[in-house]
Structure 1
Amino acid sequence: MIHKTNKVALILAVCLVTPAISQADAAKFQVRKGKATFVSDAPLETMEGTTSKVTGTVTFDPTDLSTTKGTFKAPVVSMRTGNDLRDEHLQSDSWLDAKKNPHIVFEIVEVSGVDALKPKKSHKVKVKGKFTAHGITKIVDAKGTVKWTPVDGGKDDLRIKANFTATLEDHDVSVPSIVRLKVANEIAVSVDLQATANAASTQSASR
């Protein structure tokens, strides 16, 4: 009877511990430095806009990237093109309407291309995400790289670089005919993010 009781107790202990182990594999990373670049390559002009105000978090398990989740955003008013007047136009209600839609947002839906990450090695990945601009969300496919660097004390480092294409038409941004040859419908977007793990969320299982 005692042996049977011990066996039941062991089974219960395993059931309680197993979920904790699986959850411990995933660590939450906070973006500490983020830059996004937007390039319009039109017939008469190439325009580049940048922002270094990208913030966000990503939660991932280096042994199973399919579980990766994350959301990143940047204030529309932080975008700079090298021309103050053009920046004002970009933020106006005729373009991105920063007052009504203050942020551009990217949410990770799916990561593929590699099953697991090796420490300190850059891996090529494909990312499906929800890209929101001008208040309209569209699914986009991005290509990029990710590098995970374990650090003593649990504050692991994560470097993410990605690029994808979005169109003004998809996000209901109308280009006035007077500047149509200077602003492309297709916009090349690239991001470069450096993130640090919350030490409390990084467990030995992710080493």
Structure 2
Amino acid sequence: MKKKLAIWLALCVIWGAGWNAAAAQGEAWSFDPFHSSVTFTIRHILAKVAGTFDEVQGHMVFDPARPEAGAVTVTIPVNSINTRVEKRDAHLRSSDFFDAEKYPVMTFESTQILSGKSTTDFIARGTLTIKNVRRPLDLPFRYLGSTVHPMDPSKEIIGFEAHTTIDRLEFGVGNGEFFQKGLIGKEVSIAIYVEMLRDRVSAK
């Protein structure tokens, strides 16, 4: 338990240091946990199985007119994995896959936000960390707009969606045994749907 807490605290320090620098560039949006989701699909023998991570945390600085001044950090607790089968979820949390006891979170931290092919398309270039394995990731995302929250005029709301594919074996999520036997694919398709909020009084 002490080791797990130490890992979590160290991640918070690293995450906080990077975020404080980014937040200084503009007003931060915070994830709305009730209207944000991270879903994934992976092949099982022939068909695909879907799942979610039910918890997603993070902040973002973003102005579509000045994407280069933006930044995003995301933290996903591994224990929040949910494929609707308790036994399977327990196996995924085990050392055979995510080893959630030793590596309790996954993180993505951007180093740059780039314009895409249209005025609503952007790329968050950064680092994805799973099981302490850090790999570069260009995450394409679409800006869905921003508006005053219709149920709470004191808040602004902004929306995004993103799609990407990663190789789970590159992050040590599994040792390749099930892939070689044709049971589970190695490519994981990820879809991210996000709404974020901030106070209108702090918006610029």
Match of 2:195 in 1: 194
TM-score normalised by the chain length of structure 2:
0.75
- Quick one: distance in 1 between partners of 2:118 and 2:62? 10
Find 1:127's aligned residue among 124, 128, 147: 124
**Pairwise CA distance, 1:116:** 10
Higher relative contact order (CA 8 A, sep 6+): 1
Asked whether the 8 Å contact 1:25–1:61 carries over to 2, the reply is no
Q: Secondary structure at the match of 1:61?
A: coil
Match of 1:29 in 2: 29
Asked whether the 8 Å contact 1:39–1:187 carries over to 2, the reply is yes
Uncovered stretches (5+) of structure 2, i.e. residues with no partner: 1-22
Asked whether the 8 Å contact 1:49–1:79 carries over to 2, the reply is yes
Uncovered stretches (5+) of structure 1, i.e. residues with no partner: 1-22, 118-122
**Pairwise CA distance, 1:169:** 1.9
- Rg larger in 1 or in 2? 1
Moved over 6 A (4+): none
The 5-angstrom pairing of residues 1-207 of structure 1 reads: 26-32=26-32, 33-113=35-115, 123-151=120-148, 155-173=155-173, 174-177=175-178, 180-203=181-204
Q: Which range moved further: 90-99 or 194-203?
A: 194-203
Q: Deviations over 1:170-202 (max 9, x none)?
A: 102213348841211111111111001233531
**Pairwise CA distance, 1:128:** 1.6
Q: Secondary structure at the match of 1:86?
A: helix
Asked whether the 8 Å contact 1:111–1:128 carries over to 2, the reply is yes
Q: Which range moved further: 184-193 or 57-66?
A: 57-66
Give the RMSD, CA atoms, in angstroms.
2.7
1:133 is matched by which residue type in structure 2?
I
**Pairwise CA distance, 1:98:** 0.5
Identity among equivalent positions (%) equals 21
